[in-house]
Amino acid sequence: MKCILLCSFLLATTTQAASPQKVYELRTYHTNLGKLPALQKRFREHTHSIFERLNMKVVAYWIPTTSPESSNTLIYILEHDSEEDAKQKWQTFITDPTWVKAYQASIKDGALVDSIDVVFMQTTDFSPVL
């Protein structure tokens, strides 16, 4: 019985250590005045499906609950195999013809986004499993 427990622990520890840790990309979009609904529409109708097609895994999207951020901020997290994986996927995304067309159409009345904050993160050893 002791061997089974010890062997199970060692196998789990070895497997966990051998598998590369995912990288999470936190993206916060700050929109220009009055443009959050248009940005949400672009994500809803175009961006999210392009992410899916390009195997860019979205964890979730959020809108802050308090002002002023609730009127001009979209936050989301993507999961990647590495920062290099993220870089390659973003390069593919920004040159994707469907994205270029959707982007151009969405900014015909002015830019939607004022600025974007990007943070790459890794889970800690005490994080719940995602």
Alpha carbon distance 49, 30 (integer Å): 21
pLDDT at residue 98 in the model = 97
pLDDT at residue 129 in the model = 86
Confirm whether 126 is domain-assigned.
Answer: no
Strand partners, 113: 31
Confirm whether 65 is domain-assigned.
Answer: yes
Sign of CA dihedral 28, 52, 42, 37: negative
**End-to-end CA separation in angstroms for the chain:** 31
pLDDT at residue 130 in the model = 81
Confirm whether 108 is domain-assigned.
Answer: yes
Confirm whether 1 is domain-assigned.
Answer: no
pLDDT at residue 124 in the model = 94
15 or 128: which carries more pLDDT confidence? 128
Q: Give the chain's domain count.
A: 1
Segment 36-41 mean pLDDT: 98
Segment 43-57 mean pLDDT: 98
9 or 65: which carries more pLDDT confidence? 65
Give me the CATH number covering residue 98: 3.30.70.100
Segment 38-48 mean pLDDT: 98
pLDDT category at 54 given cuts 50, 70, 90 is: very high
Confirm whether 102 is domain-assigned.
Answer: yes
pLDDT at residue 19 in the model = 55
Instruction: With a cut of 80, say whether residue 94 has pLDDT above it.
Output: yes
User: Domain containing 33: what range?
Assistant: 20-121
